[in-house]
Each structure stands twice: as C-alpha cells, then as structure tokens.
Structure 1
Amino acid sequence: MIQREHTFPAMASTPRREGSARLVFERVGPRTVVSTALAHSPLRLLTPRNHGHAAWVYTSSLGGGLVEGDRLHLDIEVAPGASALLSSQGSTRVYRSPRGCRSEVVARVGEGGLLALVPDPTVCFTGAHFTQCQEVQLAPGASLVLMDLVNAGRSANGERWAFTHFSSSLRVHQEGRALFDERWLLDPAHGPLPERLGRFDALATVLLVGPAFAAAREALSAQVGRLPVIPRAGLVCSVSPLGPEGLVLRAAATSAEALLRSAREWLGFLPGLLGDDPWARRA
C-alpha cells in the first residue's frame, strides 16, 4: 500500500513563494517563553497565551494553504529545560500544484527539553503534488511527541485520494544517533490510490521519545495491545518500540475525523505535561 523512496524528486522551475520561519523557546524561571519568532510570508506564527508552563505556537499560511511552487522551511530550537508545543491553526491544505510544493521542519531539542509537534492533518486536494520533510535532533534527556496525519482529501466532494503525489520523510536523531528514519510515498503512478488504500480515508504516525513520556508509552502500548481484532474495523493500529526510550504508533481509519479524535485521545497525557489543554478550546 505504501512504497518507500530514497530521494525526493527535483521540482521543475516555477514561480515560488519562499516562506521561512525561526522559533526559539527558552526557559525563564518556571516557564518557557518564545524568545524568537520570525516568519516570512506566506508563513505566519501565532503565539497565544496559556495557563501552563509551556510555550505554544501555531502556524498558518496566507491564502489558507500551499499552492504551486511554495517552499516552506521552519527552524525550531528548544533550549535546555524548555517545554514547547507547535501546532497549526487548522488543517494543512495543499491545492492543485502540478510542479509541486514542499514543507520542511528542522528542530533541535536541548538537554531535558520537551517538544510536542502536533499539527492538524494534511489534506491534499485533487492534483496536489506535495513533499514534506521533518527532522528532529534530541540532546540527552530531551523528549519528543510527534503526530503526523494525512487524510484522503475532500471525500464529500468525490475527491478521495485524488492527489498526484505525496511523499514524507521523518528523521529523529537521539544524542547524535539515528533513532527513526523513514520515507514513504503515495503516488498513483504505482497504482490507483483509492484501490490501494481500500476503505481507509486517513493515515497516522505518532512518535513518543524520551524520558518525559515513559509512563505514556507504557500505557499506550498496553491500550493498543488490548484492542480486539475485528474484521473490516474502522480503525486499525499497531505500536512498535524504538529502543529503550521510544515508541511508534501507526494507524489507518475509515474516517479522518475519527482518527483525529483517537490521536488526541492517545495524547491525552499532554495537558498534564504542558500545564494546559491545547485542544480544549477547539473541541
């Protein structure tokens, strides 16, 4: 169903919107603050206040999504002992883009720091050609939770898995060693996507790495392990360990909304670690 690839295709020459942003989170007393938040159009950064000790940032894009030629790059630094949440103002919409668009996230988490990368799902419309790359470097004692969801598109409009290309690269290094390095591809060149993906309308990858999530990993692994095996179930998921301090959860669901709800339930431990609930106002 999913085919791996080792290189991203070069994009043909086309007018571009080069959007870049830099975020730095630092610990000041008992709280984390955003000490640097610089963004160039079409990227925007929103820094709402919250009641916890962690700092939150939400990304958005002028025009409501990515279009032909967009190339976005976000650089994140979490200082030692700081706690940060990065999410999105809404789903990442990728519009028709025959020659492609691209999004890159590079993050570094200092010793004892915590980073939660939990954006809303990626939605590729008909004719979208999208490449995303995420890379995270973890120092000793650093922790990461990452949620990556992609759905079938505007299924209600008959646009189900109708994009032309979706490729994703996710790399996590812990103390300089590769912990997770995966690249995968959804492309109708290898067969019609609706047929290959069958009844499923959404896919998810969730990573939990580092000492802050030790109890959460144990609980999530037990929760998924207890799920019954049901023929043609609406949600199928599995968990696998990543060394002694990591876990990866993979899931496929027949409903994008149901998968998003489930993913947020799996991450139900986050409010306790952040001091506030990032999804309470978006229920």
Structure 2
Amino acid sequence: MIRGEHIQSPGVARTGRAGDARLAFERVGNRTVVRTALAHSPLRLLTPRNHGHAAWVYTSSLGGGLVDGDHLSVELDVAEGAAALLSSQGSTRVYRSPRGCRSDLSARVAEGALLALVPDPTMCFAGARYDQRQDVQLAPGASLILMDLVTAGRSANGERWAFTHYSSALRVHREGRALLDERWLLDPHQGTLPERLGRFDALGTVLLVGPSLASAREALAERVGALPVIPRAGLVCSASPLGPDGLVLRAAATSAEVLLRTAREWLSFLSGMLGDDPWARRA
C-alpha cells in the first residue's frame, strides 16, 4: 500500500458526489516539492516520500470507485524546471451509473519541467457510463509522459465490454498549437462492443513529448517498429511520430495484465528520470 498524507474535506452523500483537487509542484534546490495539495471528498491525494528528485502524488477515491453522478476534477501546475508524477492508488473503477460519471484533468507544464501522468487502467463495470477529459498545456521545452489504459471490465464475471458508454478526450497543446486532439468513444449504440473488439480485453495509449524524452522516444520507436506481425497475437502495438518531438504508442491486448505490463516496460526508463521507481514501491 502507498503510504503518504492525504488532505480532504468532510464526506458528502454517496450518490452524485462532486470532488475537485488542486495540485502545484515547484522546484526547490535540486528537488521538486508539492507546493499545493488540496482535495475535496470523494477525491484523496497521497504524497509519499521517495528517494529521487521528483515529487509524486497518487489519487484515490472514497468508496473504491465512481458511482452514479460522480464528477471529479483535477487542476495541476508544474513550475519551471520541476519534475512531477501523478498516478493512482489502483484502477479507476466505474460502477453502474445511469446518469453517468465524469473525470476532468487540466494540467499546465512550465518551461523545462516534466510531468508524468501514469494512472492505473480504467475499468468500467456493466451498466457504467463514463466520460473522461484530459487537457495538457505545455510551455516551450516542457516534457510530458502520459499513459491511458482502459480494460473490458470484470470479464471473469461475464461483464466483458458490458458498460453503456465510455468516452476519453485527450488534448495536448504547446504555445496554443495542438499537438494531439483526439477522442475515443466506445458505445454499443455504434455496434456490440464484444464483437467490435474481438479477442482484445484492453486498449491503451502511451504518449511521449518533449526534449527530455528524445532518447526514450528513439529507442521505443525502433523497438516497437521491429516487432513481427503475428496472426492472432495476444498483443498488437504501433508507434507513430507526433511532430518533431513526440511519439504515440498504441496497444491492444487480450488481457489487462499483458497491457499494463507492456506499458510499464515501455516506461521502464521513468525510474531513472525520477530517481526512484514509482511502481516497485507500490507493493
């Protein structure tokens, strides 16, 4: 279990909760510190210590997931030269929600700063409706690592791609210019999801942008590009350049475990950049 402090206001009603959080990171000497960490229930923020120079924050939700009507919002600033990691204490579970649930994240990354957004996968249960929006503004010289994974749900319980609606919008801008602006939509109104997604139980995107990630991008582009094409493979990957200093990696896997392991292997360089391994310290 992650150990750290959390700051939260008194609990609110179980149904239709609105939780917001404000985070700010700044560099002090050779280290990054969390200058601001404010959250309102059901959101919680945990700020564990680590052996590196970067600051880490993990999010969690009271009740173990999102229920009908929940709307979570996070605003995040990374100051010049700082290095920050935002992850989650576990998978984002979205329960049956006829009215829907929503999660919004807005981040600003200053010049020479690094932000790693690497939460655990999103898992939508049967009958869930979920909309996610991530908006990242990068200053010149800023760098971004982003991991966004979604799984089929509780497949072992017969709830394979059984949610009602899933939407994920991602926008990354630098100096007002869009580097990436996309929206994933999984909705049975467009066709039965298990049939459309075939053998795959998990989908994911990994995004690397910025000057501090040049060597990692080059190595990953070569590594993924060299993978053989195998019929009925359990993992299918692709790598695409994104402008002069970006790379988008896509993956589809037959299990959530394979996808998560693959994404973390791609980001194995992260521990060196942060000075500590954020996943090894999770156990």
Q: How does the TM-score come out when normalised to structure 1? A: 0.94
- The AA in structure 1 aligned to 2:246 is G
Is 1:175–2:175 an aligned residue pair? yes
Cα distance in 2 between the residues matched to 1:18 and 1:234:
38
* Map of 2:110 onto structure 1: 110
Query: How many angstroms does 1:184 deviate by?
Result: 1.8
Cα distance in 1 between the residues matched to 2:248 and 2:24:
26
Segments of structure 1 that go 5 or more residues without pairing to the other structure are 1-14
Correspondence 1:9-158 to 2 at 5 A: 16-158=16-158
Cα distance in 2 between the residues matched to 1:61 and 1:119:
13
SS in 1 for 2:65: coil
Cα distance in 2 between the residues matched to 1:129 and 1:139:
34
- The AA in structure 1 aligned to 2:77 is E
Q: Is contact 2:16-2:67 (8 Å) kept?
A: no
- The AA in structure 2 aligned to 1:39 is A
Cα distance in 2 between the residues matched to 1:45 and 1:54:
16
* Map of 1:272 onto structure 2: 272
- The AA in structure 2 aligned to 1:65 is G
Matched pairs, number: 269
> Segments of 4+ in structure 1 off by > 4 A?
none
- The AA in structure 2 aligned to 1:103 is S
Query: How many angstroms does 1:173 deviate by?
Result: 0.2
Cα distance in 2 between the residues matched to 1:176 and 1:27:
25
Query: How many angstroms does 1:175 deviate by?
Result: 2.2
Query: How many angstroms does 1:16 deviate by?
Result: 2.3
Cα distance in 1 between the residues matched to 2:35 and 2:277:
22
Cα distance in 1 between the residues matched to 2:184 and 2:62:
28
* Map of 1:230 onto structure 2: 230
Query: How many angstroms does 1:141 deviate by?
Result: 0.4
Percentage of matched positions with identical amino acids: 81
Cα distance in 2 between the residues matched to 1:222 and 1:231:
21
SS in 2 for 1:65: coil
Q: Is contact 2:80-2:112 (8 Å) kept?
A: yes
Cα distance in 2 between the residues matched to 1:83 and 1:165:
34
Cα distance in 2 between the residues matched to 1:233 and 1:59:
34
- The AA in structure 2 aligned to 1:61 is S
SS in 2 for 1:20: strand
Cα distance in 2 between the residues matched to 1:280 and 1:89:
13
CA RMSD, Structure 1 to Structure 2 (Å):
0.7
* Map of 1:190 onto structure 2: 190
- The AA in structure 1 aligned to 2:266 is W
Query: How many angstroms does 1:174 deviate by?
Result: 1.3
Q: Is contact 2:201-2:253 (8 Å) kept?
A: yes
SS in 2 for 1:161: coil
SS in 2 for 1:38: strand
Cα distance in 1 between the residues matched to 2:279 and 2:167:
28
Query: Which digits, 9 at most, give the CA deviation of each residue in 1:88-137, with x for residues without a partner?
Result: 00000000001101000000000000000000000000000000000000
Cα distance in 2 between the residues matched to 1:29 and 1:96:
47
Q: How does the TM-score come out when normalised to structure 2? A: 0.94
Cα distance in 1 between the residues matched to 2:197 and 2:138:
33
